[in-house]
Each structure stands twice: as structure tokens, then as C-alpha cells.
């Protein structure tokens, strides 16, 4: 049995025994056979559903198959006992040596332990953050950034070929409004006599962005152009003389800030794509022409929104995409009645560009308010790719920041919201990233600033980091105590581990055995938060093992007069540290060597 993939090896053993009972079991039934850890180790270490899923095909009661299967599995090289249970489960208790055999594998593999081939090199594009470059990153962006980055890391570990991408929404009305706001800061920098109210009255749509972050942009414009972008009396010049210039400089400045924020968060995408460049290239017109050639475009009139007729709604002909042919609930407009393209048309063009780059799966990490966007985008990707490329979305719910039990609502610098930089300054990258992954992305969460700074088990990042630091402190002390003994992970892979027979020691090894399965399952489900849950449980198992030595010195890891037992325990400690580091690396959290 290959200990590096214990669950799959046990599954093969179960399938071999099942084939003796049901020789002609269909492959599709065999594929449903699973091995899972039991919730209560009093019932065994693992359980299988083999009897339940095969009963109908075998035309036998699941209980009868389970009883026969248990007899065939008991007493094998890996399985000590097997017992039929419940409506058709078989509980398996493994030989302790089966678990112990895993330690040399972990120590030899290092942090590559848990790597999976499930992805089989499938090319996946994960697009995340993609915030409008209209201001600093805020908390809403933060959750999507962490979830997207951790998901990309997880998929890479699971054997996918992954590209991380950011789509810069640098076209449209919001960017124009940003340029006007930056121009106001420019006028201030050159000493304009205009008041803010007078300027706002002259701006199309009013002055929308008032945060202090644009002051530096205005000063940079003044340093580069002097008063040349204004009238001689330092008031508003015709927009055609300055708007594109100010827009270019402002977008560049905002993206530089955003990239810096992301770097501080530990995020760095591989590709940054520009919506404005895409629009300028005529890509949207090209993709509309392609859909038209496929008979998927027509001129039509949409019905009003379901359940209501807005006061400003009027029936008008539009260029529509037949998205209902691909699972959407309504056809979607690609051109407005004035002939201009819709935002959706631009978005199809962007995803068509990603398809042309050869990806097999496109994953967009979006805010929960984009839920209605998903069916139309799935339809578009299916249509444009001819069904070759899959589109998936991970929706991130809102995050509420609290401190002292009270909500934290705004930042002076941003003007209306808490910036990512504020949060990082307050608690640090690792706490932010770990905390953002302690709930499923589609669940709302409360980010408690006090809790993530606490040095208790209620703070998951501290609890897991502390487990790793304890592992490292034991290994450092061992190197001093036994200078002539094996000390590296690879050297510890060759030590005898038969003395690891205590319940707490075996509990840790059982948890380590789950790591490859957790990686694969989390990647397939697109749920990186499962890594945080696993690490917390592993840390709890290790802390329990550590605490035994407080009352009984013979249970401490380092025993000067018991070198063989000490080396076995060091192998367990080193393997635990490896798996914690592996998990934290997926999460983008730095493993610490010691706690201060």
C-alpha cells in the first residue's frame, strides 16, 4: 500500500474485495465508492459506502454486502478490523503501523506532500479583484483578493495550470468621473479661485470622488503641466483639452496604488488586462459579428423586468444575444438603442479573449451582488467557445469590520469606507488573509479586529501559527540536545517510529493522512476555506499532544535518556510542521519560526 495516498490506497483495497463479491460491478458504480474518516474514532478510523452504492446493481441488501465485505477486509496488511454498521457502511480500523508508515513519506516529500494530479494540467484562468481604478482598495475588494489568490494557489497544488488575472475596468462613466475629481485636486494644486461647490456644479453628474487619495494625483499633474491644463484664470478649461490626459495619469496612479495594496496583501497577478484597450481594439464588435454569423443575434424588444414595470422603462428595439439557448433566463442586449455597445458586450469580448488564449476553465471571483451576472456569462462563454470552455463564478459576500463590538465604517483617506491599507496597518497581512478564509466565501462574515489580534485559540491564525512555532522550537532544541543525531526532515525520514503508539500521537498522524484528500476535495469544490478548517483541526491535535508533557515529563518530545523514542517523536513533529507550512503556503500566510 502506498502510504502517500492512504485514502486512495484503501479505496483500491476495498474495490478489490468488492470485486470478489460482485464480479461484474459496473465501472460507474465503482467510481462512487468512497473512503472517509469516521466522525468518532470509537467506530474506527475510516468508513466506506461500498455496500450501499453497489447494492442495487448487485441486487442484494446493502447490509448483506457490508457483512461479507467486512469479513474479506479484516486482517489485511493495512486493515486490522472491519465491521458492518448502520444501513450499509463498513467501518475500518487500521493497524497503527499503517499510519506510522506515512511519516517517512511526508518527511521525504516535504511541502510537496499533498500535491495532487487531479487537475491533470487543465488550464484555468482565475480572475479576481478587478476593482474599478477609482480609489484605494477597500474591504469588499479584500475578501475577493484573498479568496481568489488562495483558490489559485490551491488549484496549482492540485495539478492545474493556473493563471492569475486582473481586469482593469478603465472605461466608462466611472473613470470619467474619477478624472473630473482628479482635475479638481489639480485646480487646488495650482491655486484656483474656484470653490468646491462651484466646481461640483460644473461637473457632469457632480463631484463623485472626494477622498484625500486624489490630492497627490492633483499635485503630480501640477508638477508635470503647471497651469497649462486650466484657463488663464485657473478655472475649468474645456474638457477636450485635458480629460484624456488627466484620465491616463489618474488611472496609472490609482493602479500603482492598487498594485501596492495587493503586494502588501501578498497578491500579485500574472496578467493585467485593460477594458479600455479591449474597447479600442474593436473586440466587442468582432465578437458580436461572430455571434451574428452563428445565428445568435437578432433585433428584438425585451419584456420589462419580472414583477414590475419601472417608470422609465419603454419598449425599444435592441441588438439581443440568444442567451436563453444556453441556459439563461432571458436574452441579453449587446447594443443599446443608440447603437453603442453594452457593458455585457465588452465583457463577452474580454472572456472571448481569454478563450482565445487557450484556457479550459474561466473562474471569476465576484462580489455577491454580481450573482445575476453568472447565468448570462455562462451562456456567453458556452456560445463563444462552442461549449469547449467552462465558466465558473465564486461569489464573495460582504465583510463587516468591527472593533470593540462596534462597526468600523470609514477612513479619512478614502472618505467613505475602510481601506485595505488601513486594515493591513492594523492587523497585518497574515491575520487578514487567514481570517478571510475562515468562512465559506458565500457566507457573510464579521471581521473582528480585536479577535484577530488575540493570543488565544479563538484567533485561528494565532492558533495555527503557534502550532508551527512550537514544532520549530522543538526541532531547534533537539538539534542542541542531540548534535550527533539526525536533525533534517530528510534524515528523520529514516528513523524508526514504532514507539509512536499513543492515542494523541496517532490522532495527529491520522490528521496528516487527510491532507492530500483535503487538497483535492477543496480544489474540486473551489473552496479554499477548507484549508483553514483543516489547519485549525491539525493545530488542535498538535497542541493537545504538546500539553500532555506539562503534567507528565515522560510524554515530552525530548527525552535525553530515550534517544530512539525522541527521534520518533521528532519525526512526527517535523511532519506536522511540513503540513502546516504546506497549508499556510496555499493560504498565502507566512509560517512563523517563533512567537513573540
C-alpha distances in angstroms, 427 versus 119, 396, 450?
Answer: 35, 21, 9
β-sheet bridge partners, residue 133: none
Provide the pairing of β-strand 123-127 with 332-335: unpaired
Instruction: Report the chain's terminal Cα–Cα distance, integer Å.
Output: 43
Q: Is the pLDDT of residue 277 over 80?
A: yes
pLDDT category, 39, cuts 50, 70, 90?
confident
β-sheet bridge partners, residue 366: 395
Cα–Cα distance for residue pair 8/1, rounded to 1 Å: 9
Give the pLDDT score at 1. 44
β-sheet bridge partners, residue 391: 362
* Overall average pLDDT of the 285-313 stretch: 83
Pick the CATH number of 457-587 from 3.40.1130.10, 3.40.50.740, 3.60.150.10, 1.10.730.10: 1.10.730.10
pLDDT digits (tens, 9 = 90+) for 516-555: 999 999 999 999 999 999 999 999 999 999 999 888 888 8
399 three-class SS: strand
pLDDT category, 510, cuts 50, 70, 90?
very high
Q: Which of 259, 264, 268, 250 lies closest to 209 in space, CA to CA?
A: 250
* Overall average pLDDT of the 561-565 stretch: 90
pLDDT category, 41, cuts 50, 70, 90?
confident
Give the pLDDT score at 413. 58
Q: Is 249 left (phi over 0), alpha (psi -120 to 50) or beta?
A: alpha
State what percent of residues in the chain have pLDDT above 70: 96
Residues 6+ apart with CB under 8 A from 38: 44, 45, 46, 47, 91
* Overall average pLDDT of the 79-89 stretch: 93
Give the pLDDT score at 309. 59
Q: Is the pLDDT of residue 182 over 90?
A: yes
Give the pLDDT score at 482. 81
Q: Is the pLDDT of residue 487 over 90?
A: no
3-state DSSP percent of the chain in helix, strand and coil, to 5: 55, 15, 35
CATH architecture of the domain formed by 3-94: 2-Layer Sandwich (3.30)
pLDDT digits (tens, 9 = 90+) for 439-484: 999 999 999 999 998 888 889 999 999 999 999 999 999 988 888 7
Provide the pairing of β-strand 161-168 with 89-94: unpaired
Q: Is the pLDDT of residue 402 over 50?
A: yes
* Overall average pLDDT of the 159-181 stretch: 95
Provide the pairing of β-strand 271-274 with 445-448: unpaired
Q: Is the pLDDT of residue 307 over 70?
A: no
Give the pLDDT score at 418. 82
Spatial contact of 469 and 477, defined as CB atoms under 8 Å apart: no
Give the pLDDT score at 172. 85
pLDDT digits (tens, 9 = 90+) for 249-259: 999 999 999 99
pLDDT digits (tens, 9 = 90+) for 7-32: 889 999 999 999 999 998 899 999 99
Spatial contact of 296 and 381, defined as CB atoms under 8 Å apart: no
Cα–Cα distance for residue pair 464/540, rounded to 1 Å: 8
Please report the DSSP string for 78-134 in residue order: SEEEEEEETTTEEEEEE-HHHHHTHHHHHHHHGGGTT---TTTT-EEEEE-----SS
Give the pLDDT score at 533. 98
* Overall average pLDDT of the 68-84 stretch: 94
Give the pLDDT score at 419. 87
Q: Is the pLDDT of residue 485 over 80?
A: no
pLDDT digits (tens, 9 = 90+) for 52-74: 999 998 899 999 999 999 999 99
Q: Is the pLDDT of residue 4 over 60?
A: no
* Overall average pLDDT of the 187-203 stretch: 96
Spatial contact of 49 and 62, defined as CB atoms under 8 Å apart: no
Cα–Cα distance for residue pair 377/46, rounded to 1 Å: 41
Domain definitions of the chain by residue range = 3-94, 457-587
β-sheet bridge partners, residue 300: 318
pLDDT category, 313, cuts 50, 70, 90?
low
Cα–Cα distance for residue pair 320/342, rounded to 1 Å: 10
pLDDT category, 237, cuts 50, 70, 90?
very high
**What are the E-state strand segments in 285-416?**
297-300, 318-321, 332-335, 361-367, 390-396, 399-403, 406-407
The burial class, CB within 10 Å (0-12 / 13-18 / 19+), for 201 is exposed
* Overall average pLDDT of the 120-142 stretch: 93
Give the pLDDT score at 301. 87
Amino acid at each position: 500500500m502506498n502510504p502517500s495516498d492512504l485514502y486512495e490506497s484503501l479505496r483500491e483495497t476495498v474495490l478489490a474485495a468488492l470485486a470478489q463479491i460482485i464480479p461484474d460491478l459496473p465501472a460507474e458504480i465503482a467510481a462512487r465508492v468512497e473512503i472517509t474518516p469516521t466522525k468518532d474514532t470509537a467506530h474506527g478510523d475510516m468508513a466506506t459506502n461500498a455496500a450501499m452504492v453497489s447494492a442495487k446493481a448487485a441486487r442484494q441488501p446493502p447490509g448483506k454486502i457490508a457483512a461479507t465485505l467486512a469479513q474479506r477486509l479484516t486482517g489485511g496488511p493495512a486493515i486490522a478490523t472491519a465491521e458492518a454498521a448502520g444501513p450499509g457502511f463498513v467501518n475500518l480500523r487500521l493497524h497503527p503501523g499503517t499510519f506510522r508508515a506515512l511519516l517517512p513519506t511526508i518527511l521525504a516529500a516535504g511541502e510537496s506532500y499533498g500535491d495532487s494530479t487531479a487537475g491533470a494540467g487543465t488550464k484555468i484562468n482565475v480572475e479576481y479583484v478587478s476593482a474599478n481604478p477609482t480609489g484605494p482598495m477597500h474591504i469588499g475588494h479584500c475578501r475577493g483578493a484573498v479568496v481568489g489568490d488562495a483558490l489559485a494557489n490551491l488549484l496549482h497544488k492540485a495539478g492545474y495550470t493556473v493563471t492569475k488575472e486582473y481586469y482593469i475596468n478603465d472605461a466608462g462613466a466611472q473613470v470619467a468621473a474619477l478624472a473630473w475629481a482628479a482635475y479638481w485636486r489639480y485646480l487646488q494644486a495650482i491655486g484656483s479661485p474656484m470653490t468646491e461647490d462651484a466646481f461640483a456644479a460644473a461637473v457632469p453628474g457632480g463631484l463623485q470622488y472626494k477622498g484625500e487619495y486624489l490630492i497627490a494625483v492633483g499635485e503630480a499633474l501640477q508638477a508635470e503641466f503647471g497651469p497649462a491644463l486650466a484657463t488663464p484664470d485657473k478655472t475649468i478649461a474645456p474638457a477636450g483639452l485635458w480629460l484624456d490626459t488627466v484620465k491616463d495619469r489618474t488611472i496609472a496612479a490609482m493602479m500603482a496604488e492598487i498594485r501596492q495594496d495587493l503586494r502588501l496583501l501578498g497578491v500579485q497577478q500574472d496578467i493585467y488586462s485593460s477594458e479600455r484597450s479591449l474597447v479600442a481594439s474593436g473586440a466587442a464588435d468582432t465578437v458580436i459579428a461572430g455571434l451574428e454569423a452563428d445565428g445568435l443575434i437578432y433585433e428584438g424588444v425585451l419584456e420589462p423586468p419580472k414583477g414590475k414595470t419601472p417608470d422609465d422603462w419603454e419598449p425599444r428595439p435592441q441588438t439581443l444575444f440568444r442567451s436563453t439557448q444556453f441556459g439563461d433566463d432571458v436574452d441579453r442586449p449587446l447594443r443599446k438603442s443608440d447603437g453603442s455597445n453594452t457593458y455585457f458586450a465588452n465583457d463577452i469580448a474580454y472572456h472571448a479573449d481569454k478563450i482565445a488564449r487557450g484556457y479550459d476553465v474561466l473562474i471569476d471571483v465576484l462580489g455577491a451582488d454580481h450573482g445575476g451576472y453568472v447565468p448570462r456569462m455562462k451562456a456567453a462563454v458556452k456560445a463563444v467557445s462552442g461549449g469547449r470552455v467552462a465558466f465558473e463564478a465564486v461569489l464573495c459576500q460582504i465583510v463587516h469590520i468591527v472593533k470593540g463590538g462596534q462597526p468600523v465604517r470609514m477612513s479619512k483617506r478614502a472618505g467613505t469606507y475602510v481601506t485595505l491599507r488601513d486594515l493591513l496597518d492594523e492587523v497585518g497581512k497574515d491575520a487578514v488573509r487567514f481570517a478571510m478564509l475562515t468562512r465559506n466565501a458565500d457566507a457573510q462574515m464579521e471581521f473582528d479586529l480585536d479577535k484577530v489580534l488575540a493570543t488565544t485559540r479563538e484567533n485561528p491564525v494565532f492558533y495555527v501559527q503557534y502550532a508551527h512555532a512550537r514544532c520549530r522550537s522543538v526541532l531547534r532544541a533537539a538539534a542542541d540536545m542531540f548534535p550527533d543525531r539526525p536533525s533534517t526532515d530528510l534524515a528523520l525520514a529514516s528513523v524508526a517510529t514504532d514507539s509512536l503508539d499513543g492515542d494523541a500521537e496517532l490522532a495527529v498522524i491520522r490528521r496528516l493522512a487527510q491532507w492530500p484528500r483535503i487538497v483535492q476535495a477543496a480544489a474540486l469544490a473551489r473552496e479554499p476555506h477548507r484549508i483553514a478548517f483543516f489547519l485549525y483541526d491539525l493545530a488542535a491535535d498538535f497542541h493537545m499532544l504538546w500539553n500532555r508533557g506539562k503534567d507528565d515529563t515522560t510524554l515530552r518530545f525530548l527525552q535525553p535518556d530515550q534517544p530512539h523514542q525522541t527521534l520518533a517523536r521528532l519525526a512526527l513533529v517535523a511532519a506536522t510542521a511540513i503540513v502546516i507550512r504546506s497549508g499556510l503556503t496555499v493560504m498565502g500566510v507566512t509560517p512563523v519560526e517563533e512567537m513573540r
